[in-house]
Amino acid sequence: MSTGPLFDFDNPLEGVEKRLGQQATVLHGFALPYVQGVYAALQDIIAQAPFRTMITPGGRSMSVQLTNCGSLGWTSDVHGYRYSAVDPETGQPWPPLAATFERLAHAAAAHAGFGGFEPDACLINRYTPGSRMSLHQDKDETDFSAPIVSVSLGVPAVFLWGGHTRSDRAERVPLFHGDVVVWGGVDRLRFHGVAPLKEDVHPLFGTERINLTCRRAGPSRKSPAR
């Protein structure tokens, strides 16, 4: 794929792989060759399913804005967290999982040791200065056999990589444009979050950070039907 100058970015750790756990790793710069396609797909998705502020079950507004693509989308409201096949704002199905997201997620998962990853959901988070995500586990999926593939775009952030309990000390991991974090297996339920986003400007994403979290939310193809 050819990329124009607009899509050629530096990543200070490009090519470096940082192990976070037995089955968790950061692939720095892995998404860079996909950025042009991802950016274009993102514009289509947000035209159909715009970013919105969601409310936590505790009644607070989340500081990141969210949308989804894929056959299932993650949502939150006062009744709880869940996956839904439709966008609650429009009653319509979420936009389909972009082929570039799928290819990127599949390739990153395979590179990290998780062959055959077939995501059915991609949560898209938009951070603006000060937005943060407190420590949490990704555990609203039907089963945990598939990894999580999390792509960072735009302004750099500090990823908080915790343990199996909320109070475990969290490592601070810098994430740059084009970085991909993959975690699964014994590390699938590790707590993680994002420190408040600093003011910065990225040539393509301005003051924003976009995170794509690709997951298998419904039953995996290999699981027996329930």
To the nearest whole angstrom, how small is the minimum distance from the Cβ of residue 55 to ligand SIN?
16
Among 27, 191, 211, 214, binds ligand SIN (CB under 6 A): 211
Residue 125 binds ligand SIN (CB under 6 A): yes
Q: Which does 194 bind (CB under 5 to 8 A by kind): ligand SIN, Fe ion, none?
A: ligand SIN
Q: Which residues contact 116 (CB under 8 A, 6 or more apart)?
A: 110
Question: Is the alpha carbon torsion for 76, 82, 83, 86 positive or negative?
Answer: negative
User: How many residues in the shown chain lie near ligand SIN by CB under 6 A?
Assistant: 10
Site for Fe ion, residues 13 to 32, rule: CB under 5 A:
none
Instruction: Identify the residue whose tokens are 């302004």.
Output: 155
Site for Fe ion, residues 116 to 145, rule: CB under 5 A:
138
Q: Which is nearer to Fe ion, 138 or 208 (CB)?
A: 138
Residue 208 binds Fe ion (CB under 5 A): no
Instruction: Identify the residue whose tokens are 């409310």.
Output: 55
Residue 216 binds ligand SIN (CB under 6 A): no
Site for ligand SIN, residues 141 to 160, rule: CB under 6 A:
150, 152, 159
